Amino acid sequence: MIKKPYILERGTTLLETLVTTALLAFILMFVIYSVLNMNKSVTTVLVSRDINNTATAALDRMSRSIRDAMSVDEVNSIFDTSPGKLIITSANAVGGEGEISFYIDLDSNLLIKDGIAPAMPLLTDNVIVESIIFRHLKTGKGDGVRVELTVINSKPDNVSQTRKFYSTIVLRESYQ
């Protein structure tokens, strides 16, 4: 008769089970913490991107209109304070003159009003204006406008961001 070799068969002890459970709990805690941090980072990046894209598009639209303007309405515009208001005179499509206004409404939305058309927002719903300051730059050779725009995200999602944007624009018609 052939004898089988003696194999020690035993189960796990309570101590081994507790150590294994503790290690798995620690690893799981680390993974959950990492996922939560990644989620917050992604939210921060999305909010930042939304603010940058929206404010840049608004400043580009304002810059284009100001650059093509014939003059700045110094009487009705509000300079060097927030909330500022800028009214410019520009040529319209039929060869006449029209007014374009940039201002903030009561809900902190940046609006553009072109002639008799209704005012249109320049920012998305997720971004509101904290302050906007227009500065009129007048030299012997031409006019310019400096825009200081501070925006914040209106839907914080536990991530609040405030950004400042600056632009200086020279009116083409003023130095030709």
pLDDT given for residue 16 in this prediction:
87
The conformation of residue 106, written as its DSSP 8-state character, comes to T
Q: Report pLDDT digits (tens) over 143-155.
A: 899 999 999 887 7
SS (H, E, C) 21-72: HHHHHHHHHHHHHHHHHHHHHHHHHHHHHHHHHHHHHHHHHHHHHHHCCCEE
Going from the C-alpha of 14 to that of each of 26, 49, 52, the distances in angstroms are 18, 52, 57
- Count of Cβ atoms closer than 10 Å to residue 84 Cβ: 21
Q: Report pLDDT digits (tens) over 18-58.
A: 999 999 999 999 999 999 889 888 888 888 888 899 999 99
- pLDDT band at 158; cut points 50, 70, 90: low
Q: Report pLDDT digits (tens) over 48-101.
A: 888 899 999 999 999 998 988 888 889 999 999 988 999 998 876 555 678 889
**Cis peptide, bond prior to residue 121, ω within 30 of zero:** no
Domain borders along the chain are: 35-174
Mean pLDDT of the chain: 85
pLDDT above 90 for 132: yes
On whether the CB atoms of residues 108 and 129 are closer than 8 A, the answer is yes
- pLDDT band at 176; cut points 50, 70, 90: low
* Cα–Cα distance measured from residue 121 to residue 98, given in angstroms and rounded to the nearest whole number: 19
| DSSP count for the chain of H helices, then E strands | 1, 8
pLDDT given for residue 157 in this prediction:
65
Q: In which element (H, E) is residue 20 found?
A: helix 14-67
